[in-house]
Amino acid sequence: MITIPIDRSEDADYIYHQIYQRIKEEIFSRNLLPGKKLPSKRELAKALNVSINSVNAAYQQLLAEGYLYSKERKGFFVEQIETFHATEHSKPLQLEKELAEGENRGSGWISFSHMSVDTAHFPFKTWLRCEQKAVASHTDELGEMTHPQGVYQVRQTIARFIALTRGVKCHPEQIVISAGTQPLIHIIQDLLPESALYAMEEPGYSRIYQLLKNERKRVVTIGLDHKGIRISDIQALDPDVLFVTPSHQFPTGIIMPVSRRIQLLNWVSDGEDRYIVEDDYDSEFKYGSDTIPALQSLDRSEKVIYIGTFSKSLLPGLRISYMVLPQKLLKRYRKRHHFSIQSSSVLTQFALQELIESGEYQKHIKKMNQIYEEKRTRLIGSLEKTFTGRVKIKGASAGLHFVADFETERSEEEILMRARENRVEVYGMNRFSLNSKKEIRTGTASLVLGFAKIGMDQIDEGVVKLYQAVCG
């Protein structure tokens, strides 16, 4: 008879699982050999003083997993199972040191991250109502596979909205919805020639740069002047695809004037298979003037691929972005991706549609623009007061971050280390250097300061801690 100690304490595992686990261990340790007949369910239940149902559940699970086989009217027998080869992995699994993740930056940290948003003022109740209405109105659609490009009604709403707010000209059929920007970049690569030469702003968005490099694409970087990406270098390098962030250059914050925009559009229209990818990542927020229309709104040759996201205006965790494809590329997309599965939650798409159509999205943006402007003004004022002439602010008229140049003898690496020791989350400009060699300039250091996540009551304390890291 098998000996199985049963733990009957309140916190113990289910009895059937204890029986299942012990028999499995006995099989692996070869105490129960292949072909061995197990006690009947009634016998084992009586021996263990448990119910027959508990023994039956354990036997059925072992049978389903292949540890046992049964013979009609004869009972259960141990299956022929090979033993594991002896390896170093037979010991308890331990995570290798270099794979361990860092701590989650929760309470006690002050965040100047450019990647975060203000969740304290997010209208969660309104969003939940939109989800509830989406469930009530679209029950059938939620139970089906949606179009690879996303729900058509939602694309209609987005098309109307970006035409009104960003001047983007498109039909709903041209919009592709996705769970984030990176999957859209993968699609764009697939639609363009394998040998295409990609060009990116320097400094720029390192995630996209690394994605392209990992895909073994040819990538060059082009520096900036006071108007944005340098047109003379574009003409000299002659790329096929140009990534730009004209409404709020990432990370410098430069806003590209219309003169440079027209130069870019003239350049792209002169090439047969040239395209510009416009990443309009935080265009909703502008301070001191109205928002500037998208580059795509000026495009007369259908050569701009427009990418937008709701990560900055709503929540990054909702994972909903979209792109507008020129019709030539849309034809390629339909041929190559008609089998694709839409990656963004259908419920989220319908909830977003309800949020926009009800006017609640616009109300939220207006409210957040005021809150972010107050934070931005307070942060700049606190920096100028604390650093007394030793800080210069750049790119602060739009978006959710700006660049601060500090006079200091400390290196960026040392500043960031001291900031972490003070539980301050902040990033330096070197993070966004792509292909160029990082310049080591004595006497200055540049930090990218986000102001979305930080609370108004944390700003002065955060600036004091920055001062300690930079100069103290």
CATH topology of domain 15-78: Arc Repressor Mutant, subunit A (1.10.10)
Q: Could you read off the pLDDT tens digit of each residue along the chain, which spans 472 residues?
A: 788 999 999 899 999 999 999 999 999 989 999 999 999 999 999 999 999 999 999 999 999 999 999 999 999 999 999 887 776 656 777 888 888 887 666 678 999 999 999 999 999 999 999 999 999 999 999 999 999 999 999 999 999 999 999 999 999 999 999 999 999 999 999 999 999 999 999 999 999 999 999 999 999 999 999 999 999 999 999 999 999 999 999 999 999 999 999 999 999 999 988 999 999 998 899 998 888 899 999 999 999 999 999 999 999 999 999 999 999 999 999 999 999 999 999 999 999 999 999 999 999 999 999 999 999 999 999 999 999 999 999 999 999 999 999 999 999 999 999 999 999 999 999 999 997 655 556 689 999 999 999 999 999 999 999 999 999 8
Label residues 274-305 b or e (16+ Cβ within 10 Å = b).
bbbbbbbbbbbbbeeeebbbbbbbebeebbbb
Distance CA 8, CA 23 (A): 18
Q: What is the pTM of this model?
A: 0.88
CATH ID of 110-116+363-471, from 3.40.1390.30, 3.90.1150.10, 3.40.50.300, 3.30.420.40: 3.90.1150.10
Per-residue confidence (pLDDT) for residue 438, from 0 to 100: 59
Per-residue confidence (pLDDT) for residue 168, from 0 to 100: 97
The answer to whether the CB of 429 falls within 8 A of the CB of 251 is yes
Per-residue confidence (pLDDT) for residue 352, from 0 to 100: 98
Domain ranges of the chain: 15-78, 110-116+363-471, 139-358
Which tokens go with 214? Answer: 């990992």
* Domain 139-358 in CATH 3.40.50.300: no
Per-residue confidence (pLDDT) for residue 292, from 0 to 100: 86
Per-residue confidence (pLDDT) for residue 93, from 0 to 100: 77
Distance CA 408, CA 415 (A): 9
How many residues are present in the chain?
A: 472
